[in-house]
Amino acid sequence: MFAKKTSKNQLTLPKDIVKEFPGIDYFDVGIKDSKIVLSPVKIMPASASLSAIRDKIEQLGLTYEDVTNAVKWARRNKTK
Protein backbone atom coordinates (compact mmCIF):
# COMPACT_ATOMS: atom_id res chain seq x y z
CA MET A 1 0.00 0.00 0.00
CA PHE A 2 1.09 3.53 -0.67
CA ALA A 3 0.60 6.77 1.23
CA LYS A 4 1.53 10.07 -0.38
CA LYS A 5 3.01 12.93 1.62
CA THR A 6 1.17 16.19 0.99
CA SER A 7 2.71 19.65 0.65
CA LYS A 8 1.91 20.13 4.36
CA ASN A 9 3.85 16.96 5.28
CA GLN A 10 0.69 15.01 6.06
CA LEU A 11 -0.06 11.36 5.31
CA THR A 12 -3.44 9.70 4.96
CA LEU A 13 -3.45 6.16 6.28
CA PRO A 14 -5.12 3.60 4.00
CA LYS A 15 -8.52 2.30 5.19
CA ASP A 16 -7.25 -1.28 5.31
CA ILE A 17 -4.58 -0.21 7.81
CA VAL A 18 -6.82 2.00 9.93
CA LYS A 19 -9.48 -0.69 10.36
CA GLU A 20 -6.87 -2.79 12.19
CA PHE A 21 -6.76 -0.13 14.95
CA PRO A 22 -10.35 0.56 15.99
CA GLY A 23 -10.71 3.40 18.47
CA ILE A 24 -7.16 4.64 17.93
CA ASP A 25 -6.83 8.28 16.87
CA TYR A 26 -3.18 8.91 17.79
CA PHE A 27 0.05 7.24 16.77
CA ASP A 28 3.55 7.69 18.12
CA VAL A 29 5.91 8.32 15.21
CA GLY A 30 9.51 7.20 15.21
CA ILE A 31 12.35 6.09 12.98
CA LYS A 32 13.91 2.63 13.08
CA ASP A 33 16.41 1.33 10.53
CA SER A 34 15.65 4.27 8.20
CA LYS A 35 11.92 3.47 8.27
CA ILE A 36 9.01 5.46 9.67
CA VAL A 37 7.33 3.48 12.46
CA LEU A 38 3.81 4.25 13.71
CA SER A 39 2.73 2.83 17.07
CA PRO A 40 -0.85 3.18 18.30
CA VAL A 41 -1.29 5.34 21.39
CA LYS A 42 -4.27 5.41 23.71
CA ILE A 43 -4.66 8.83 25.30
CA MET A 44 -5.67 8.72 28.93
CA PRO A 45 -8.48 11.12 29.81
CA ALA A 46 -7.69 13.98 32.17
CA SER A 47 -9.99 12.33 34.68
CA ALA A 48 -7.60 9.37 35.07
CA SER A 49 -6.95 8.71 38.72
CA LEU A 50 -3.62 9.39 40.34
CA SER A 51 -3.36 5.75 41.39
CA ALA A 52 -3.71 4.62 37.76
CA ILE A 53 -0.87 6.96 36.80
CA ARG A 54 1.28 5.65 39.64
CA ASP A 55 0.52 2.06 38.56
CA LYS A 56 1.62 2.88 35.00
CA ILE A 57 4.86 4.47 36.26
CA GLU A 58 5.54 1.35 38.32
CA GLN A 59 4.82 -0.94 35.33
CA LEU A 60 7.34 1.05 33.30
CA GLY A 61 9.93 0.59 36.05
CA LEU A 62 10.37 4.33 36.55
CA THR A 63 11.68 5.55 39.88
CA TYR A 64 11.03 8.77 41.77
CA GLU A 65 14.51 9.87 40.70
CA ASP A 66 13.70 9.16 37.02
CA VAL A 67 10.62 11.38 37.20
CA THR A 68 12.49 14.12 39.08
CA ASN A 69 15.29 14.09 36.50
CA ALA A 70 12.79 14.18 33.63
CA VAL A 71 11.05 17.23 35.12
CA LYS A 72 14.40 18.98 35.63
CA TRP A 73 15.41 18.15 32.05
CA ALA A 74 12.12 19.45 30.64
CA ARG A 75 12.30 22.66 32.63
CA ARG A 76 15.94 23.25 31.70
CA ASN A 77 15.30 22.79 27.98
CA LYS A 78 12.08 24.83 27.96
CA THR A 79 13.93 28.15 27.94
CA LYS A 80 16.28 27.21 25.09
pLDDT in tens, 25-51: 999 999 999 999 999 998 877 666 787
pLDDT at 53: 81
pLDDT at 50: 80
Q: How confident is the model at residue 1 (pLDDT cuts 50, 70, 90)?
A: confident
pLDDT in tens, 47-76: 667 878 888 889 999 999 998 999 999 998
Report in angstroms the alpha-carbon separations of 65 from 26, 59, 68: 29, 15, 5
Query: What is the number of residues in the chain?
Result: 80
